Amino acid sequence: MTVVDALHSLVPHARALGKVAVLLGGTSAEREISLLSGGGVLEALRGGGVDAHAFDPAQRELVELKREGYARVFIALHGRHGEDGTVQGALELLGIPYTGSGVMASSIAMDKVMTKRVWLAEGLPTPRWLRLAADDHQREQFGRVADELGLPLIVKPPREGSSIGVTKVVALSQMDKAVTLAARHDAHVLCEEFIEGLEVTCPVIGSGAQAVALPVVRIEAPEGAYDYQNKYFTDAVRYHCPSGLPPAEEAEVRRLTLAAYRALGCRGWGRADLMIRARDRRPFLLEMNTAPGMTSHSLVPMSAQAAGIGYPELCLRLLAGAALDDSTRAAPAAHGGHA
């Protein structure tokens, strides 16, 4: 039986999962998207018979999870104070198993600069980049960045998601405005080589040797503008799954995604974003999302569906895999499945 077959067949008995909190909302710039993701997950879990409840950390103290007897947590938070290791650390201290990556992998993956450093150390391809420190946003640096990375280039905050604060700079005169925008969201600014080509994404489910890369999704945005608005609030973007890539390219994207996921120490689930360079068809890793979106426009459910895993089943499987970094305190067993 393949791992995907196992994911499809091992749906746990809902009652065995205990009382479940779906963390949603939060305080990050992606709060609006988190509410949409969490709402979808909550509906799916309840529809599957799970005793699931919404829990917004922006409105309640996390310690209430322990007081109210929650057995597991489904993290549907995005961005800071949800996807960056902070909530994961609090849940470790509370001893409540949670979905997705642990403290270290979450914190590294949230920081695109640290992610690139790990990937480069592992020999994985990622676009060339420069980091402008908080005290180094002087205009005289902009020419150096353009000379080294070339134009166009991408300017973005390294610790935000959903394309928040991202600018494609096509002329040196745009750098000041782009850096100012990115700096509103992060003290540091990431300047990245622009890769002309196809934008793709590839989800992963599972941990360690049992992790599996799901089908690749090819993204076709109007004029290449795969921004916050187009991602979540329009139907202008076209998604292709199956991707339509040649089989060898699809296989290479999935191989790289698994290697990137494992290099960061991710577990549970995640989604890598990549670019395939047009001139030589070489893929480059952009980032790893450790708490991907689960909205109606989200790409993990789309890819899972192509693999034969429906949205409710996907939510149940992710919840059943809730765990702690501290292996001495394992998650309650989810009975009712068959190997």
**Catalytic site includes residue 30:** yes
- Catalytically annotated residue among 192, 273, 313, 325: 273
319 within domain boundaries:
no
Indicate the SS3 state at residue 85: coil
CATH of the domain at 278: 3.30.470.20
pLDDT at 337: 36
pLDDT at 221: 83
Residue type, 221: A
**Catalytic site includes residue 287:** yes
* Last residue of one domain, picked from the residues 193, 218, 245: 193
227 and 188, same domain (yes or no): no
Beta strands in 206-258 (DSSP E): 212-213, 217-220, 238-240
* Last residue of one domain, picked from the residues 170, 193, 216: 193
- Catalytically annotated residue among 37, 293, 311, 325: 293
133 and 120, same domain (yes or no): no
Each residue's pLDDT tens digit, 279-316: 999 999 999 999 999 987 799 999 999 999 999 999 99
207 and 229, same domain (yes or no): yes
- Catalytically annotated residue among 159, 267, 271, 317: 271
178 and 96, same domain (yes or no): no
19 within domain boundaries:
yes
**Catalytic site includes residue 111:** no
- Catalytically annotated residue among 28, 34, 107, 162: 162
Which residues, given as ranges, of the chain have pLDDT below 70?
1-12, 136-138, 161-162, 223-234, 327-339
66 and 23, same domain (yes or no): yes
Each residue's pLDDT tens digit, 51-108: 999 999 999 999 999 999 999 999 999 988 999 999 999 999 999 999 999 999 999 9
CATH of the domain at 159: 3.30.1490.20
Q: What is the rounded distance in angstroms from the CA atom of residue 82 to the CA atom of residue 33? A: 12
323 within domain boundaries:
no
118 and 266, same domain (yes or no): yes
pLDDT at 172: 93
187 and 223, same domain (yes or no): no
248 within domain boundaries:
yes
114 and 235, same domain (yes or no): yes
89 and 67, same domain (yes or no): yes
Indicate the SS3 state at residue 309: coil
Q: Which residue has the tokens 């139907």?
A: 235
Domain that holds residue 80: 3-100
324 within domain boundaries:
no
User: Between vectors from CA 159 to CA 123 and to CA 270, what angle results, nearest 5°?
Assistant: 60
**Catalytic site includes residue 271:** yes
67 and 212, same domain (yes or no): no
329 within domain boundaries:
no
- Catalytically annotated residue among 289, 298, 313, 317: 289
CATH of the domain at 24: 3.40.50.20
218 within domain boundaries:
yes
64 and 81, same domain (yes or no): yes
189 and 204, same domain (yes or no): no
* Last residue of one domain, picked from the residues 144, 169, 193: 193
Domains identified in the chain, total number: 3
